[in-house]
Structure 1
Amino acid sequence: MYKHNNSASRIHALLTKAMSQPDKALYQVLADVFDVHGADDAATGQLVLPRLNWFYVELDLLEAQVRSTQISTHLYNGAFTRVRMVISPIYLSAGWQGMRGNLTPDVLLALAFLSELLPDEEAAIPPGELEEIAAEVEALTKLVRDAVIPEALRHLIEHQLLLIRLALDQYPIHGAKAFREAGRTALGEIIETRETSGVPVKDSEELSRLGKLWKRVNSSTDVALKMEKVGQLGYRAWEALNAWLQ
């Protein structure tokens, strides 16, 4: 286990998982690392690409964070270069055996050291909590699909569920900030729709369940990010929904 939970620890964990993979195409290795698999190789590649982009974003954030510290550049510069080489999109079809040599022990050690030198940014959200949120997303998706409700409301709820599903996918790479960004986007969308759509939604079970789901998601996020006012964003979203219902 890692002493601190931050960008370095998440990247180190993903690369360590990659190192345990047998020889196959790089995109297949990444599919296992990110735990995504499509109906065929092309579909799997399409699932890998956005996650690879998220990984690059997190790696860039980590490097910027490290450069703002007093840590000597020569202690980590080579590690970032090697990591970018091994996960380059131009090598997705290359064999893993020829690529994994870039992740030498000193590269992983540098990332491990960075994970301890940098601040502890958040607490882990329990896997069971993530699983229950995912289950509620799927249950509400089915409810909305079968419900007799205005199409504008259906589209709103479906997009909100997509935001949560996306954050669940991003969590292993971006951490709890993935949920925080999704919550901010969702809250703005809820308020905008409430003020402009004119959709009659009084006593909507679907919207009520969406509000409770966001309240849970954002409360869990605030706990993970060690916010002083637990659930603040979740309660704001819930209040916006209640105002709309009334």
Structure 2
Amino acid sequence: MFNQENPAGRLYTILSKFKGADGNSFLKHVWADALGVDRENEIETLKQVFEIYNLTGEIERLIKIRPGINHELLLASHSTVEKITSPANFHLRWHQVSQNLETDVLTRLQFCAQELSQFYEEEQVSDEEIAEITDIVNFLFDELKNSQIDDAIKLVLLEEIERIRSALSHYRIRGAKGVKEALQATLGAVIVNKPQLEAVAKTNTDVIAKLGKLIDKLDAFSSKALKVHKALTKPVSYLLSFTKDEGDDKAA
């Protein structure tokens, strides 16, 4: 049994759901069904298919850095996968493009997943864990949106939380790496906007505390899934309130 907790394994899992699809269905609807998206929500379908297109590129990059294997053979089906991820083909019926997903495509993805498992592996995360963090994110987003903090910093925080929410909603495509990248972007925003956030913390302590707890939770979540050390050795409140600037040290 090959490992499905890496990019190739996740793509295999998604494309396997195409089996038995109605040949008369539009490609966009076949994608929606495979991804668990409402057929009427074409925007979300497009977003997720775009992530899958990027996923194929990630698989290619990872396979090519693996020495001693036949890269061309393993990646021979990538161009056909790209055809069914193209929005230009969404208006076509499944029977018109299904030949691009022949059995050898899935077989090659299995081999790719097996090769990637030699150096890239994530710990499986349950839907319940993802749902729990998503609930926290949604609650914080609404609380921030309705808060009285400065509009400029509010927009920064809402954008970062939306980035995290998107990474969580696309977890079954991008995995923990997507969450980690969202976390890193949020940490960057925290550092860049440290003075403004510290000012907000004086009058909206609860909101900033919840943001800190969310970041800590995401850090623990992504590091566990990716089997790496946490990005933060101390709670994010340390960054917000207790870190001395280099200039302070020099002045001392």
Give the alignment's TM-score, normalised by structure 1.
Answer: 0.86
- SS of the aligned residue for 1:185 comes to helix
How much does 1:50 deviate?
2.6
Q: Residue 10 and residue 146 in structure 1: after superposition, are their counterparts in 2 closer, same or farther (change >3 A)?
A: same
Counterpart of 2:56 in structure 1 is 59
- SS of the aligned residue for 1:233 comes to coil
After superposing the two structures, state which structure 1 stretch, 215-224 or 133-142, moved more.
Answer: 133-142
Provide the C-alpha distance between the structure 2 equivalents of 1:160 and 1:74, rounded to a whole number of angstroms.
Answer: 39
Provide the C-alpha distance between the structure 2 equivalents of 1:201 and 1:216, rounded to a whole number of angstroms.
Answer: 19
Q: Residue 18 and residue 233 in structure 1: after superposition, are their counterparts in 2 closer, same or farther (change >3 A)?
A: farther
Q: Residue 83 and residue 183 in structure 1: after superposition, are their counterparts in 2 closer, same or farther (change >3 A)?
A: same
Provide the C-alpha distance between the structure 2 equivalents of 1:172 and 1:4, rounded to a whole number of angstroms.
Answer: 11
> What number of residue pairs does the alignment pair up?
238
RMSD: 2.4
- SS of the aligned residue for 1:37 comes to coil
After superposing the two structures, state which structure 1 stretch, 54-63 or 195-204, moved more.
Answer: 195-204
Provide the C-alpha distance between the structure 1 equivalents of 2:234 and 2:28, rounded to a whole number of angstroms.
Answer: 41
**Which string of whole-angstrom CA distances, capped at 9 and with x for unpartnered residues, describes residues 56-77 of structure 1?**
2111121122233322245324
| Contact 1:8/1:114 (8 A) holds in 2 | yes
- SS of the aligned residue for 2:232 comes to helix
**Which string of whole-angstrom CA distances, capped at 9 and with x for unpartnered residues, describes residues 29-53 of structure 1?**
2122233337x4xxx3322223222
- Give me the identity figure in percent: 26
| Contact 2:52/2:85 (8 A) holds in 1 | no
How much does 1:4 deviate?
5.0
Counterpart of 2:21 in structure 1 is 21
After superposing the two structures, state which structure 1 stretch, 56-65 or 234-243, moved more.
Answer: 234-243
Counterpart of 1:50 in structure 2 is 47
| Contact 2:197/2:208 (8 A) holds in 1 | no
- SS of the aligned residue for 2:170 comes to helix
How much does 1:198 deviate?
7.4
Provide the C-alpha distance between the structure 2 equivalents of 1:145 and 1:96, rounded to a whole number of angstroms.
Answer: 42
**Which string of whole-angstrom CA distances, capped at 9 and with x for unpartnered residues, describes residues 114-153 of structure 1?**
2112224211222111000111111122222333333234
Counterpart of 2:114 in structure 1 is 116
Provide the C-alpha distance between the structure 2 equivalents of 1:34 and 1:226, rounded to a whole number of angstroms.
Answer: 26
Provide the C-alpha distance between the structure 2 equivalents of 1:241 and 1:20, rounded to a whole number of angstroms.
Answer: 53
| Contact 2:198/2:241 (8 A) holds in 1 | no
Which structure 2 residues correspond to residues 104-143 of structure 1 after superposition, within 5 A? Answer: 104-119=102-117, 120-143=120-143
Matched, 1:237 2:240: no
Give the alignment's TM-score, normalised by structure 2.
Answer: 0.84
Which structure 2 residues correspond to residues 33-48 of structure 1 after superposition, within 5 A? Answer: 33-37=34-38, 40=40, 44-48=41-45
Provide the C-alpha distance between the structure 1 equivalents of 2:83 and 2:199, rounded to a whole number of angstroms.
Answer: 51
Counterpart of 1:220 in structure 2 is 221
5+ residue gaps, structure 2:
244-252
Q: What one-letter code is carried by the residue in structure 1 that aligns with 2:232? A: L
Which structure 2 residues correspond to residues 135-174 of structure 1 after superposition, within 5 A? Answer: 135-174=135-174
Q: What one-letter code is carried by the residue in structure 1 that aligns with 2:47? A: P
Which structure 2 residues correspond to residues 68-107 of structure 1 after superposition, within 5 A? Answer: 68-69=65-66, 70-107=68-105
| Contact 2:8/2:113 (8 A) holds in 1 | yes
